[in-house]
Amino acid sequence: MSYQIELTTRDGQAFGFACEPGQDVLSAAAAADITLPSQCRRGSCGACHATVTEGAYTLGDHSADALPSGDPQAVLLCRTRPSADLRVAAPYDGTKVLLQPVAARAARIAALETIADGTRRLELLLDADDTSGSAAEFEAGQFAELELPEGGVKRPFSLANTSNWEGRLEFLIRLRPQGKFSAYLRERAQPGDVLTVHGPQGGFGLIADSLRPRWFVAGGTGLAPVLSMLRRMAEFGEINDARLFYGVNRESELFLLDELDALRAALPQLHVELCVRDAGDGWQGSHSTPVDALAAALAEGGAAPDLYVCGPPAMVSAAQAVAARARVPSTQFVSERFTV
Ligand code: FES
């Protein structure tokens, strides 16, 4: 006997599917050709989190960091095995749910440049295919998994640009000393190399119908999905008040400051606070972390903003604690954690 799962998205779209005994909810959805946002599929990234509003289940091994705090019914769908029919509330809109497997498309390296200490900007151009032509279609804030030309190595990276007809995909990638993908970018990558792009994927993104202020907190290359969301706001002329708290450890790690200036010109309501934790004496900006800057801004009072947070797990957890203390409703806290 299977269990019936009813999943409702933030904007009220309902998806129903069966889950076999012993099967996790994420796999059951995939078996029904429903692709829900996920990333690691092993309980560590938090990308598949949702809230069970009715029904019984067991939650398997997972990282404590991956579950949002303050919601006793929060689950990770990749680790949730029902023991009764379930009703599940998802923290993303229906546009993030695919009624097909994640697409895989070939793309060529169009540009690769160093933009800061240890950080590369990678630009890909999708090859045309029968379904999408050459268009790159995705929601601001989503990610894609990139697979190396020789296969076998696949890593998730957030998209920094917005949907476009030319098939352009932009990624900001922090090089890791031991990473296989990093070694490829550092040593072998050449314009014209063909990578496989698995995506778009993920539920991180703007709460579309919200008129509340939008505050963004980005650590390092966590700026990539935030740039995508700000660029989308600029393209659509959205007028929500906006603040960006962008932080790195050293000044040499800052990047794309000219792009932030361009966004400030396109979005006059955008206020940007640059935070460098270990800055030199000449640094004019904040010496705090972006989470400290967020805490100080929330302490000023006013309407609770929607919060969009992307960065290392510890930074996201700290931002979540700050938001909870300031009584920002959990439905207004949207986040994505780096996975290593
Ligand atoms: S996909 Fe479930 S925790 Fe990462």
pLDDT in tens, 28-51: 999 999 999 999 899 988 999 999
Instruction: State whether the Cα torsion 340-297-226-51 is positive or negative.
Output: positive
pTM for this one?
A: 0.93
Q: Is the pLDDT of residue 130 over 80?
A: no
293's enclosing H/E stretch is helix 290-299
User: By the 8 A CB rule, do 162 and 232 touch?
Assistant: yes
Average pLDDT, stretch 114-120?
94
Angle at alpha carbon of residue 122, lines to 116 and 125, rounded to 5°: 160
- Nearest partner of 200 among 239, 232, 236, 169, judged by Cα: 169
Ligand 1 centroid – CA 52 distance (Å)? 16
- What DSSP string runs through 199-256? EEE---S--TT--S-EEEEEEGGGHHHHHHHHHHHHHTT----EEEEEEESSGGG---
39 Cα nearest atom in ligand 1: 1
Rounded to whole angstroms, the Cα distance separating 62 from 228 reads 30
Give me ligand 1 centre to Cα 120, in Å.
26
Ligand 1, pocket-test mutation among 27, 42, 336, most atoms within 8 A of CB:
42
DSSP state of 152: S
From ligand 1's centre to the CA of 45, what distance in Å? 5
Å from CA of 61 to ligand 1 middle: 11
Please write the tens of the pLDDT for every residue from 201-259: 999 999 988 999 999 999 999 999 999 999 999 999 999 999 999 999 999 999 999 99
Q: Is the pLDDT of residue 340 over 60?
A: no
| Predicted local distance difference test score (pLDDT) of residue 1 | 86
Domains of the chain, start order: 3-96 (3.10.20.30), 104-201 (2.40.30.10), 214-337 (3.40.50.80)
136, containing H or E segment: none
Residue 48 CA: which ligand 1 atom is closest? 2
Other C-beta atoms closer than 10 Å to the C-beta of 308 total: 28
CB of 50 closer than 6 A to ligand 1?
no
Residue 120 and residue 185: Cα distance in Å, rounded? 8
Protein residue closest via CA to atom 3 of ligand 1? 43
Q: What is the Å distance from ligand 1's center to 91 Cα?
A: 14
Closest CA to 216 of 303, 142, 311: 311
The whole-angstrom separation of Cα 18 and Cα 95 is 21
Whether the pLDDT of residue 69 is over 80: the answer is no
Q: Is 66 in the pocket of ligand 1 (CB under 6 A)?
A: yes
In 3-state terms, what secondary structure has residue 172? Answer: strand
Helix/strand/coil percentages in the chain, nearest 5: 25, 35, 45
* Strands in the chain per DSSP E: 3-8, 14-19, 49-54, 57-59, 74-76, 80-82, 86-89, 104-116, 119-126, 143-147, 154-158, 168-174, 194-201, 214-219, 242-248, 270-276, 306-311, 333-337
pLDDT digits (tens, 9 = 90+) for 289-331: 999 999 999 999 889 999 999 999 899 989 999 999 999 998 8
Confidence at 128, pLDDT banded by 50, 70, 90: confident
What 3-state DSSP class applies to 103? Answer: coil
